[in-house]
Amino acid sequence: MAAKGLRLVIVGGGAAGISAASTTKAIAPETSVVLFSEYEDVAYSPCGIPFVHGREIPNFEALFLQSRQHYADVGIDLQLETRVTRVDLRERKVYVGSRAYEWDRLIIATGFDYERPDIAGSDLEGLHYVKNIRRAMEFDRLLEQIKKVVVVSASPLGIEMAGNLARRGLETHLVDESGWLMSEVADPDIMQPVEESLKSLGTKIHLGTKVLGFVGSNGKVKSVKTTTGELDCDVAVMATHKRPNNLLAREAGLEIGSTGGILVDDRMRTRVDGVYAAGDCVEVIHGGTELPVQGLSGSHAYSQGRVAAANAVGEQRSYDPVFIPWGMVGGDVHVGGVSLGETLHKMLGIPHFVAAATGISRARYYPGVTKVRVKLIVEPKTLRVTGAQMAGGEGIKERADFLGFALKRGATLEDFAWMENVYSPPIGALMEPIALAAQAGLTQVKQLRQA
Amino acid sequence: MAAKGLRLVIVGGGAAGISAASTTKAIAPETSVVLFSEYEDVAYSPCGIPFVHGREIPNFEALFLQSRQHYADVGIDLQLETRVTRVDLRERKVYVGSRAYEWDRLIIATGFDYERPDIAGSDLEGLHYVKNIRRAMEFDRLLEQIKKVVVVSASPLGIEMAGNLARRGLETHLVDESGWLMSEVADPDIMQPVEESLKSLGTKIHLGTKVLGFVGSNGKVKSVKTTTGELDCDVAVMATHKRPNNLLAREAGLEIGSTGGILVDDRMRTRVDGVYAAGDCVEVIHGGTELPVQGLSGSHAYSQGRVAAANAVGEQRSYDPVFIPWGMVGGDVHVGGVSLGETLHKMLGIPHFVAAATGISRARYYPGVTKVRVKLIVEPKTLRVTGAQMAGGEGIKERADFLGFALKRGATLEDFAWMENVYSPPIGALMEPIALAAQAGLTQVKQLRQA
């Protein structure tokens, strides 16, 4: 069990890298831990950036979680603004240019990069990718001087940016090729209230609209060409698909999976002894489909970092297939879900039916009550729930967590239809919306069987 | 399966009786349904009453859920202000005075009565029991004219009343014999923030204080004598223990359980063929201890009514042992839990340890974030979680529902420690507080095993 004097090198200072470093020091403090990041900062919350732009959060300083000193204090050697240029798996060294660092265990946590579209003008100044907090601070100052923004892609980030920039008072356009918002994850009916909320904030939404290129003047973007017309802009926010940053791993000879994520087993081990990977640069197994997935949440990255570190220092810790509870706020609407929605069930040809209901978050008469729409996607033979999608005004995150836990354990419509629930007027209605959806589903089943 | 032309009589118009009537009409519309209630109204939310007194809800009309006409429309014969005086199980009749009504199936849903303390002055005018909405309307008008209230018993209702009356601007005293609030259900550390919140609203709290009697003048209460002194008051709110109203059932010869609740099996059947009971007048089995319990929530009563009705008209529906997720708002603090708290584990001598942590409800920097303290009570050998208690500012009801579902299915510390959770700054923190508590528990276990 003991891992005395092990030298651990971590490449990457995001959620996975930082949690791996902290976990190592917590469970095996004698391990020497060096963490490399190409960036100036670690331990801030990049997910908070859109909300600072929208002034929901007063300033960027609020997003920092820990000081550099904290990491020094616990014995983590942070090497910031230091780009690892090469990993040598045979020599067990990482290289920063010509300088070599030896390791006994290596954790690769190189995160993601945004897909950069291969279209005209994509190298123009004024195309902004939301990631690094220093660039976000500069961008925020720029927002003071400009009027028009086009947000490319109605991804979760695109929706958060579009809502917050509209709230900030900018003329904001959101462009997406699909027929509805967040089409990769969410069902159209679930996203409809988000679309309405964004519009009421002033966001102009262009669906079914493909970006063809960027038009510049003096090297700076001045409009976005799309299949439905040209949109003037001062900047374009590129909320494009996140791709695993697998460059170092690939060049080192590690295996890359079908999604572009580094291949790891359930211990977050690559196929090379002593080498682990975690976070947005890996792919993991989806518990519902058993297919590899990548690009999950900061919370997933954090857990994967913990698992990688625990195994690196000699513990036995497995990372289970994921069911991916998700949630977010689009405009003023909370949406969320677990596993696959109705749309993905259809696309993948998975047999299913939908059990849905609209309940309420508190007693009908209590101030602050909101509707909570719940869709359960159900396997027809066993009545196991294989996915869920929700929209409402509160309690969506907690319900998604619950459903994630329950779906992983094979919960059925019966289980949810007869669940006990808290009833207290200020915080919960007589009937839990999840139970109502399940009851509606059982009624459908009964009618079908009687027909 | 068919139940053509059955005559169903329901005694009681609370949540259990009303849900039994509605369920019957939904699944077997050909059944004749007569529902008797001694009160003037059905289908309102008694749980909302304290919040109308506190003006969180503007008026009592808001608490009505359905009109009488609605029940007539679906074919339910409501007999209001009609007290059933006798049930004859052999003749299969209920009597209202000398008038007899025949039934093929009977559902007894006679609810609860407050314990009326057998002490001096308990028959004085001005002792108010919160139950009937018409009496609550009268009481609300009385509150306009008075200054001082003593609330007897820091039960959930007592706490809601004390907070709301203080908010209304009345001099409010809350008296309880125990050393902390809601001691029958909750742990002292969980209730500490509620106590502080009530105090900040102006409620004067007298713990460790037993009520000895009521002192009157001209037949009206003017003070409450306690073991720690005499408290002047214009009215006393009696938020005493709720006892099953088993009178009719007992007189009819039905079996009564150890808690005073009518004995029913898992189909809500009494031992007499065709006779069911549901709601606060019955006792059901607690899933953790396998002991009988009574006096649960309106949501439980509603579900029991559904089960009783389904079985009465020929379906096969069982009511599972309960784990009792609960939640409420005391002052401005949300508290809740599932099954037994630490205190009850101790009192019942159940082997356990406590895994606790304080997390947050949103990202640390996001407006509206509140602390969420979670205590999991754990069986030491299996690490199964056998109870939970929480305090926070949001998301307590949804977490209690989740934990209720999970505990019923035997979830362990490991399950919770590695649960996936939504991370999105406006609605959820990187680490779910339930997971943090479980992780803290696993760390304790590891340290113990290493020691």
**Residue B121 to residue B301: CA distance in whole angstroms:** 33
- From CA B172, how far away is CA B318, in angstroms rounded? 44
Interface size A-B, in CB pairs within 8 Å, comes to 192
Question: Torsion-angle region of residue B42: left (phi > 0), alpha (psi -120 to 50) or beta?
Answer: beta
Which among B369, B177, B363 is positioned nearest to A48, based on CA atoms? Answer: B363
- Option in A302, A334, A409 nearest B409 (CB): A409
Q: Is residue A266 less than 8 Å (CB to CB) from chain B? A: no
> B397, B408, B434, B436: best mutation site toward chain A, by most A Cβ within 10 Å?
B397
Please indicate whether, in this complex, the C-beta atoms of B406 and A405 are within 8 angstroms of each other. yes
The partner residue sitting opposite B405, judged by closest CB among A408, A419, A427, is A419
How far apart CA B262 and CA B195 sit, in angstroms, is 35
Question: Which residue of B328, B400, B430 is in closest CB contact with A302?
Answer: B430
In 3D space, the residue among A316, A375, A378, A341 whose CA is nearest the CA of residue A3 turns out to be A316
B93 to chain A nearest CA, in Å?
32
Instruction: Find the closest chain B residue to A307 by CA distance.
Output: B418
What pLDDT, in 10s, does the model give residues B165-204?
999 999 999 999 999 999 999 999 999 999 999 999 999 9
CB B424 within 8 A of CB B418: no
CB A41 within 8 A of CB A135: no
Please tell me the distance from the alpha carbon of residue B343 to that of residue B387, in angstroms, as a whole number: 11
Q: What is the pLDDT along chain A (451 residues), one digit of tens a residue?
A: 444 589 999 999 999 999 999 999 999 999 999 999 999 988 889 999 999 999 999 999 999 988 889 999 999 999 999 999 999 999 999 999 999 999 999 999 999 999 999 999 999 999 999 999 999 999 999 999 999 999 999 999 999 999 999 999 999 999 999 999 999 999 999 999 999 999 999 999 999 999 999 999 999 999 999 999 999 999 999 999 999 999 999 999 999 999 999 999 999 999 999 999 999 999 999 999 999 999 899 999 999 999 999 999 999 999 999 999 999 999 999 999 999 999 999 999 999 999 999 999 999 999 999 999 999 999 999 999 999 999 999 999 999 999 999 999 999 999 999 999 999 999 999 999 999 999 999 999 998 888 7
pLDDT tens-digit readout, B305-352: 999 999 999 999 999 999 999 999 999 999 999 999 999 999 999 999
CB B243 within 8 A of CB B156: no
pLDDT score, position B4: 59
CB contact under 8 A, B397 and A424: yes
Q: Is B421 on the interface with A (CB under 8 A)?
A: yes
Q: How far apart are CA B47 and CA B157, in angstroms?
A: 8
Cα–Cα distance for residue pair B69/A64, rounded to 1 Å: 59
**Phi/psi at A68 (nearest 5 deg)?**
-55, -35
User: Which chain B residues are Cβ-neighbours of A363 within 8 angstroms?
Assistant: 45, 47-48
Residue ranges of B 270-309 with Cβ closer than 8 A to chain A? 297-300, 302-303
- Collapsing DSSP to helix, strand or coil, A35 comes out as strand
State how far the Cα of A308 lies from the Cα of A344, in Å rounded to an integer: 30
d(CA A20, CA A5): 17
**A202, burial (CB in 10 Å: exposed 0-12, middle 13-18, buried 19+):** middle
Tell me which chain A residues have a C-beta less than 8 angstroms from the C-beta of B396. Answer: 427
Q: How distant is the alpha carbon of residue B247 from its chain centre? A: 21
Closest CA to B420 of A285, A312, A365: A285
3-state secondary structure of B108: strand
Q: Is the CA virtual torsion A62, A68, A73, A77 positive or negative?
A: positive
B175 vs chain A: nearest CA distance in angstroms?
Answer: 23
Mutate to test the interface with A, among B25, B133, B299 (most CBs of A within 10 A): B299
**What is the rounded CA–CA span in Å between residue B141 and residue B127?**
15
Question: CA-nearest residue of chain B to A403?
Answer: B402
Q: How far is B289 from chain A (nearest CA, A)?
A: 17
Residue B422 and residue A325: Cβ atoms within 8 Å? yes
Does A406 contact B405 at a Cβ distance shorter than 8 Å? yes
Q: How does DSSP assign A214-280, residue by residue?
A: EEEETTEEEEEEETTEEEE-SEEEE---EEE--HHHHHHT--B-TTSSEE--TTSB-SSTTEEE-ST
Closest CB to A418: pick one of B47, B62, B303. Answer: B303
Please name which of A298, A307, A276 lies closest in space to residue A65, comparing C-alpha atoms. Answer: A298
Task: Count H helices and E strands in chain A, helices first.
Answer: 12, 26
Q: Please report residues of A whose CB lies closer than 8 A to that of B23.
A: none
Identify the CA nearest to B103 among candidates B95, B94, B112.
B94
All domains in chain A, ordered by first residue: 7-42+80-113+243-312 (3.50.50.60), 127-240 (3.50.50.60), 327-450 (3.50.50.60)
pLDDT of residue A448: 87
Cβ of A404 and B420 within 8 Å?
A: yes
Q: Closest to A430 (Cβ–Cβ): which among B51, B298, B430? A: B298
B172 vs B164: CA distance, rounded Å: 9
Pairing of strands A371-378, A353-360: antiparallel
Binary contact (A419, B428; C-beta < 8 A): no
Tell me the C-alpha distance between B216 and B125, whole Å: 8
User: Strand A211-217's sheet: what is its strand order?
Assistant: A211-217, A220-226, A229-232
What value of ipTM does the predicted structure carry? 0.96
Q: Are B193 and B163 in contact (CB under 8 A)?
A: no
10 Å Cβ neighbour count for B72? Answer: 11
The residues, any chain, with a CB within 8 Å of residue A63's CB and separated by 6 or more, are A44, A45, A46, A48, A49, A52, A57, A133, B365
State the number of CA atoms in the 13 A half-sphere of B228 facing the CB. Answer: 12
CB A417 within 8 A of CB A442: yes
CA distance to A114, A136, A157, A169, per residue, from A142 (Å): 21, 10, 19, 14
Per-residue pLDDT tens digits of chain B, which is 451 residues long: 444 589 999 999 999 999 999 999 999 999 999 999 999 988 889 999 999 999 999 999 999 988 889 999 999 999 999 999 999 999 999 999 999 999 999 999 999 999 999 999 999 999 999 999 999 999 999 999 999 999 999 999 999 999 999 999 999 999 999 999 999 999 999 999 999 999 999 999 999 999 999 999 999 999 999 999 999 999 999 999 999 999 999 999 999 999 999 999 999 999 999 999 999 999 999 999 999 999 899 999 999 999 999 999 999 999 999 999 999 999 999 999 999 999 999 999 999 999 999 999 999 999 999 999 999 999 999 999 999 999 999 999 999 999 999 999 999 999 999 999 999 999 999 999 999 999 999 999 998 888 7
A398 inside 8 A of chain B by CB: yes
- SS3 call for B325: coil
What is the distance in angstroms between the Cα of B104 and the nearest Cα belonging to chain A? 25
Of the candidates A328, A398, A406, the beta carbon closest to that of B395 is on A398
Nearest to A182 by CA among A382, A5, A333: A333
Q: Are residues A416 and A435 in contact, defined by beta-carbon separation less than 8 angstroms?
A: yes
Q: Are B44 and B136 in contact (CB under 8 A)?
A: no
- Write the CA distances from B2 to A369, B304, B306, integer angstroms: 40, 21, 17
Do the Cβ atoms of B27 and B2 come closer than 8 Å?
no
Query: Are residues B399 and A398, on separate chains, in Cβ contact within 8 Å?
Result: yes
Distance CA B334, CA B394 (A): 7
